[in-house]
Structure 1
Amino acid sequence: MLKIAMLSTGEEVLHGDIVDTNAAWLSQRFFEHGYSMTKRSTVGDEMTALIEELLMLSFNCDIVVVNGGLGPTSDDLSAQAASLALDTELVLYPKWLETLEEFFAARGIIMPESNRKQAMLPKGSILLENPIGTACGFKLTLNDCDFYFTPGVPREFKLMVDQQVLPDIKASHPQVTGQDCSKLYTFGTSESALSDKLDKIKLPTGYTLGYRSYLPYIEVKLFGPKEDLDNRVKLLQIIFKLIEEHVVSVDESMQKHVAYLIQEKKMSISTAEQSTFGALSQWIQSNALAAEFCGHGWVLGERIAIGEQADDKLAAALALVGATKDKCGTDVAIVTGKVTDNAFCVTLAAPEGEWGQTLTLNRNYSRDEQALVITTVAADMLRRYLSKKPMFVGYSSLSRVKEMFVPRSVISE
């Protein structure tokens, strides 16, 4: 197995002034092409620390992608650190100096002398051209480890990886087959509950299960060899059957899946929101496929009392969802009632009738987290309706106080 690492450089990355989106992107991109990252590290703009990290990685890895530190300023140290680690000198690469001069001339600017530094690379390096910026990349080998030095600007970095780094790695390591990862997105359960159900599965050689938890989802990830579709599908079917109650989508986001269902059923939707502050409407309309079927959406202030039956919050929310559907002339309407003493109502009206439930939050959430959880509950009700699945399900972090279905025949009387 190839050992692949990424070294991010710069004080701004190390100290959290900027989020290292390049690292996350590279990990995902490499995995898509069959190359799994085994290590990621970050070092500031300090020469000794950079040299030590380069040497350490060279003894423990086969491939290292170094990101950042190729600019014209004094704190851009990657090329110099590489030359010192390699015990060689920096030399001028005339080809890149000419490219730099043409870059500035095309803009009617005389090239600053400081940019000349960007054409000084460790002796013996292979130049990696940058078609959209001034920082070229370069490749060198240190202790039998291939290093690819890349610019930190995300657009330049990604282009260089796609056009030069990945093709070079594939040419050097054509025997690597890599892995695929299938994802089942779940909502309303816990990692331990999922593990209790899935640990009983005996996975074939080369397959592993992983979990990723983030509000409001838990991803179940099935890793396995590429081009083993038959076994992968069979395993996914087994996993899905065991946790189907809480699976909201497979190999695509819940939003994309619900958008597909909305387009497939071609049902128009309206909303009235009190605890989600417009987040539900935004959730649905963020996908262009679903947005085509969205009707009116109202956001109600928290001080507004819904209906005259304020003592029965669910009845009031059912009345509102029916009125929203009728007034907007949509096929479906969804209402999220306000949170009172950690309890809230979510209701859905459709041609067959109206469904409603009162739920209690069992954890302490911030206001934004509450809105996210309730939005997902509402979206899950919509998904269940469009998929013809049971409308009510148990949620690990929520307790159901009350549920109700009112058939259209009763409402019409």
Structure 2
Amino acid sequence: MIKKKINIEMLSTGDEVLHGQIIDTNAAWLSQFLFQEGILITSKHTVGDDLTQLISTLQQHSLDNDIIIVNGGLGPTSDDLSAQAAALANHEPLILHQEWLSKIEQFFLRHGKTMSPSNIKQAMLPQSATLIDNPIGTACGFKIQINHCLLYFTPGVPSEFKEMIKTWILPEIKLNFPTLEKKLCYRLMTMGQTESNLATQIDDNLNLPTDIVIGYRATMPMIELKLTGSEEQKTKMDALWQKIKAIVANNFLYEGVLTQHGDLGLAMFVSKILIEKGQTIAVIEHQSAGRIAHQLFECEAPMVKSEIVPLFPEAFKDYCLHVLTRNRADIVLGLVNFREKNTEFTLIIATSQQFFQFNLKYTGQVQNREITQKILCAIALDALRRYLLNMPILGKNVWLDLIE
């Protein structure tokens, strides 16, 4: 029987992942990467460094899935148990794969280092394993089959993991399941409206088919909207997407995924506009403690100055003019004069010809300092975006009041 839908599980291993000592970025990356290829991860699971539990999980989960991508546990230390668990789960021995041992030896030779005897463990793999090359490190990936399920074992190091997925595992999935139903996902970011209000506006104005789904993801202070459906529904999804964009137009920030790091999406969009317009920028901050400048710098914005300085209101205009002249900047973006007791602050956009000053009050829920900084940064970057696009500098925002 030809399958149009398959079950794919991401199985992360390791106590440090299970107990939250490190963030499982590999799982998030894999879900997004495969989704962009039209392939859905159907479940995720995490197991610690417990051999018995690993064996049981591999045996049980292989009954429910077509593919399991196992991440981690391929190193040379005693707590790296994935290869041993795979062999025991499939009732077969571990054997020395001389081919991979030779590659490990060559790896150390190229780097002018002596191979530790413990590294031999990385070449001890299940007898039925098909090796997956690792051109970056010494952990050998491999594939085995348990209960008609394909299991791919990958290293936990992100660069090695991603290389295996892109160059070996993804092509295999497409080869083995060529009739997979491809998925489409349209995405946009909004700010200044609550999730419930956005949902109400969309539900009141759209009649979505059951096989096309709209989702919401809050990432303070922004809300992402996603429209998901099969590739066969593209024409219908295109029409719905235009209607959704019209509904949220007052709070629209940007469309699509600009970066895997959500915090930088708006900064990335603003940086692209600055570059396209050939405009340099200087950033003056206080409460945001350099966060705006850092985001723009990470996105390679044409930034000529960044400073953290407390300013008194009577000095705003003269100081901005000084910064513009001395640094030959085209624009100054300022976020200063924050008063924590009443969450009031001043937003400034200045050029040699124009000076805009907005005294604002954030009326949303009081947050910790990090979240407060994140909110202020987003407000400032959105104001800059709107200025660069010749829009009113302040958009509609239910949590922002303009103080006369």
Q: In the alignment, is residue 255 of structure 1 matched against residue 249 of structure 2?
A: no
Most deviating of 371-380 and 331-340: 331-340
What is the aligned partner in structure 2 of residue 182 from structure 1? 186
Is residue 299 of structure 2 the alignment partner of residue 284 of structure 1? Answer: no
The residue aligned with 2:247 is 242
> Alpha-carbon deviations, 1:108-163, whole Å to 9, x = none?
55544333322222222212122232221111111111100111222221111111
SS of the equivalent of 1:140 reads: strand
Aligned twin of 2:222: 217
Residues 22-44 of structure 1: per-residue CA shift (max 9 Å, x gap): 11111112112221111111111
TM-score, normalised via structure 1 length: 0.86
Deviation of 1:353 (Å): 5.3
Structure 1 or 2, whichever has the larger Rg, is 1
Per mean C-alpha deviation after superposition, the further-off stretch among 115-124 and 40-49 is 115-124
Shift of 1:87: 1.7
Instruction: Say whether 1:39 aligns with 2:38.
Output: no
1:273 counterpart letter in structure 2: E
Structure 2 partner of 1:366? 368
Residues 192 and 396 in structure 2, CA contact (< 8 A), matched pair in contact too: yes
Q: Hey, what's the Cα distance between the residues in 1 that align with 2:290 and 2:136?
A: 40
Rounded to whole Å, the distance in 1 between the matches of 2:118 and 2:291 is 49
AA in 2 matched with 1:387: L
* Distance (whole Å) between structure 2 residues aligned to residue 197 and residue 321 of structure 1: 41
Q: Which runs of 5+ in 2 are unaligned?
A: 259-264
Structure 1, residues 177-207: CA drift from partner, whole Å, max 9, x if none?
4212221111122211111111231234532
1:159-198 matched pairs, under 5 angstroms: 159-198=163-202
Cα 1:224–1:354 shift into 2, 3 Å: same
In the alignment, the residues of structure 1 paired with residue 109 and residue 283 of structure 2 have an alpha-carbon distance, to the nearest angstrom, of 56
Give, in whole Å, the separation in 2 of the partners of 1:347 and 1:133.
49
Q: Which amino acid aligns with 1:299?
A: I
For residues 79-118 of structure 1, what are the structure 2 equivalents within 5 Å?
79-107=83-111, 111-118=115-122
Within a 5 Å distance, the mapping from 1:68-83 to structure 2 comes to 68-83=72-87
The answer on whether the counterparts of 2:250 and 2:395 sit within 8 Å (CA) in structure 1 is yes
CA distance in 2, matches of 1:376, 1:127: 46
Task: Check whether the contact 2:313–2:337 (CA below 8 A) recurs between aligned residues.
Answer: no
- Tell me, yes or no, if the aligned pair for 1:270 and 1:333 is still in contact at 8 Å: yes
Contact 2:312 / 2:337 at 8 angstroms: preserved in 1? no
What is the identity, as a one-letter code, of the residue corresponding to 1:358?
L
1:348 aligned residue: 349
For 2:193 and 2:317, locate their aligned partners in 1 and report how far apart those are by CA, in whole Å: 26
Q: State which of 26, 30, 44 in structure 1 corresponds to 2:30.
A: 26
Match of 2:379 in 1: 377
Q: Which residue of 1 aligns with 2:262?
A: none
Do the aligned residues in 2 keep the contact of 1:317 with 1:346 (CA within 8 Å)? no
Which deviates further from its counterpart, 215-224 or 236-245?
A: 215-224
Query: What letter corresponds to residue 262 of structure 1 in structure 2?
Result: L
Distance, in Å, in 2 between the alignment partners of 1:107 and 1:381 is 50
Q: Which residue of 2 aligns with 1:299?
A: 308
Q: Which region of structure 1 is more displaced relative to structure 2, 228-237 or 376-385?
A: 228-237
Aligned-partner Cα distance in 1 for 2:35–2:214: 16
**Matches of 1:367 and 1:82, distance apart in 2:** 46
Query: Matches of 1:264 and 1:142 in 2, distance apart?
Result: 53
Once the two structures are TM-superposed, the CA of residue 247 in structure 1 deviates from its matched residue by: 0.9
2:130 paired residue number: 126
Task: State the SS of the aligned residue for 1:339.
Answer: strand
Q: Residues of 2 paired with 1:16 and 1:222: CA distance?
A: 31
Is the contact between residue 9 and residue 68 of structure 2 (CA under 8 Å) also seen in structure 1? Answer: yes
In the alignment, the residues of structure 2 paired with residue 295 and residue 104 of structure 1 have an alpha-carbon distance, to the nearest angstrom, of: 44
Number of aligned residues = 389
Distance 1:275 1:221 in 2: 33
Where does the alignment leave 5 or more consecutive residues of structure 1 unmatched? 308-315, 403-413
TM-score, with structure 2 as normaliser: 0.88
Contact kept, 8 Å, 1:360 with 1:400, in 2: the verdict is no
Conserved? CA contact 2:268–2:296, under 8 Å: no
User: 89-98 or 167-176: which moved more?
Assistant: 89-98
CA contact (8 A) 2:133 2:141 kept: yes
Change (3 A) 1:172 1:325: same
CA–CA distance in structure 2, aligned partners of residues 287 and 76 of structure 1: 37
In structure 2, C-alpha distance between the alignment counterparts of 1:177 and 1:265, rounded to whole Å = 41
Shift of 1:12: 1.8
Task: State the one-letter code of the partner of 2:224.
Answer: E
Please identify runs of 4+ aligned residues in structure 1 that moved more than 6 A: none
Q: Does structure 2 retain, via aligned residues, the 8 Å contact 1:180–1:224?
A: yes
Aligned AA for 1:397? W
SS at match of 1:59: coil
CA RMSD in angstroms, aligned pairs only: 2.5
Paired with 1:380 and 1:30, the residues of 2 have a C-alpha distance of 30
Letter in 2 for 1:218: I
SS of equivalent residue, structure 1 residue 100: helix
AA at the equivalent of 1:395:
N
Question: Which residue of the partner structure matches residue 311 of structure 1?
Answer: none
Distance 2:110 2:388 in 1: 57
Provide Cα deviations, 1:373-394, integer angstroms capped at 9, x if missing partner: 1222122111112212223333
Go from structure 1 to structure 2 and tell me whether the alpha carbon gap of 1:101 and 1:372 turns closer, same or farther (over 3 Å shift): closer
Q: Structure 1's 296 and 135: CA in aligned 2 closer, same or farther, altered over 3 A?
A: closer
State whether residues 75 and 139 of structure 2, in contact with CA within 8 Å, keep that contact through their aligned partners in structure 1. Answer: yes
Q: Which shifted more, 109-118 or 79-88?
A: 109-118
